Structures are given as structure tokens and as C-alpha cells.
Structure 1
């Protein structure tokens, strides 16, 4: 498991559609751990997605528990695989 470099806009990989994850196998578990390590190493980072480290899959991690806005009310570390927005408002 390792901290990965984060791609910056306008890197071409960030403009591509990410693919669905087919199976929760060992490579996906390793990817999730790399995302966690990368997020925790970043100053003030509260989340990172697989495309940001050059992997075109729908995987991301979020943890706002260290953020001043989320430290009192949060769900802890969220690891999302194939997340979908099912509704929105505002």
C-alpha cells in the first residue's frame, strides 16, 4: 500500500469516464488502501478518487473527521465503490 501522486487538472485522464468495478477482489482492496494512504498524506485532504491517482475506476474514499467542518458530525471513513447519485436538490 502506498501514497500515490495526485494528477492535476487538466490532465487528460481526469477527463475520461471511469469504469464500474466488476468484483471486489484483492486489486480493488489494494486500490482502496492506496486511496486512503494518499488522502491521509495530503495536507487538509478529505477525499480522493481513483481517477485522481490515474486509475479509471469508480472508487473513492472520504473522511471529514479531521476537518474543522466535520469533526463533530461525521460518519468516519467512507470507502465507496461504484457510487451513484440517486437524487439531488437545491
Structure 2
């Protein structure tokens, strides 16, 4: 059974009694980043703790709008996203985590620049769907949710789902000409 999108809104690890710990982010070429994560039982207390850690780590990382379990060294299909306040956001579902997520529908493909905490020195142009329907399970309850996302939130979801499948944005760029040195500001 798929729950209405309202079940996604307002979900936080804190609502399940898990404050979350900040974890170290692994960087390429760590092998965990190139292996597909295992499906998880979203009701497992370890998975709930993992989701809480992902959100805590995302929240303390400037500019971060999503983080997947492989990025903190765990080969599991769990990630979090929060595009709240981002100037490119069209749809905003707040901070949430999903387990075993899949893309159900994808349309309106557009190129866009992406960066990643696990590839800190580079950005790249990646063509992604700007309209997306995703289905996944909420940590804790295991409730399956299905929802639509547009624009930047759709891009962030695809980026994190790719991480769970063992892919980096670099695996999706058109070639070396579409990879750039990240600008640093002093």
C-alpha cells in the first residue's frame, strides 16, 4: 500500500527518538561509492539510526542538499534530501529520508551543474529529468510513499538514488569536457 505524500511531510529522525550523529563523509575513490547498496528493512532500528545520522551530517555540511549511506561508508539504500531555501528549488518536501527508493517516472530532461561532497574538487554537467515520480519507504514506519518532484529537488533525488546504486555524478557526465575544477572562495 502506498501512503499519501502527507506522510512524507514533517518526518524527521527526531520524531522517532533518534537525534542522529555527525559522521565522516568518504570521498572517491573509496570502493563503497562504486558498489550498489543493499536493500534495507526500513523498520530496523539500525536503519532508523542511519537515516538520523545522514540528516545530522547533511545539516552541518554547508551547501549540502542530500546525502546517501554510501557517502558515510555504509553500503545501503538509504538517503536524505532537503532543498528547503535553495534558490533553484521548485518543489520542496522539507527534510526527509527514504529507503529502497526507485524512480517510477522521469521526464523533461535537462542538463545542469552538479557537485558532491564525495567528489569535493570537481563539478560536472549532468543531464537529468526535471520532473520525477519517486517511490520509497520511510525509515521507522516502513510506509511506502510515492510523490512527484520538479526541478532542483528532482535532480537531488536522482543524485542520491544514483549513490545508492553505486554511481557518482562523474559516471553520468557526457565526457571530460563536462567536468570542471570546483571554484574555491576565500
> What is the alpha-carbon root mean square deviation over aligned residues?
1.5
Where does 1:40-55 land on structure 2 (aligned, <5 Å)? 40-55=59-74
Aligned to 2:39, the other structure's residue is in SS state coil
Length-normalised TM-score, structure 1 = 0.89
Partner of 1:25: 44
* Structure 1 position 67, deviation (Å): 1.8
Of 88, 92, 99 in structure 2, the residue corresponding to residue 81 of structure 1 is: 99
1:22 alignment partner, SS class:
coil
- Structure 1 residue aligned with 2:27: 8
Length, aligned pairs only: 89
TM-score (norm 2): 0.45
Structure with greater Cα Rg? 2
Residue 34 of structure 1 aligns to a residue whose secondary structure is helix
Change beyond 3 A, Cα 1:3–1:53: same
Q: Unaligned stretches of 5+ in structure 1?
A: none
SS of equivalent to 1:81: strand
2:83 to 59, 64, 67: 64
* Structure 2 unmatched ranges of 5 or more: 1-19, 110-186
Deviation by residue 1:23-78 (Cα, 9 ceiling, x = unmatched): 412111110110000000101100000010001110000000032223x7411112
- Higher mean Cα deviation, 34-43 or 17-26? 17-26
User: Could you tell me whether the CA contact under 8 Å between 2:42 and 2:99 is conserved in 1?
Assistant: no
SS of residue matched to 1:18:
coil
Partner of 1:52: helix, strand, or coil?
Answer: helix
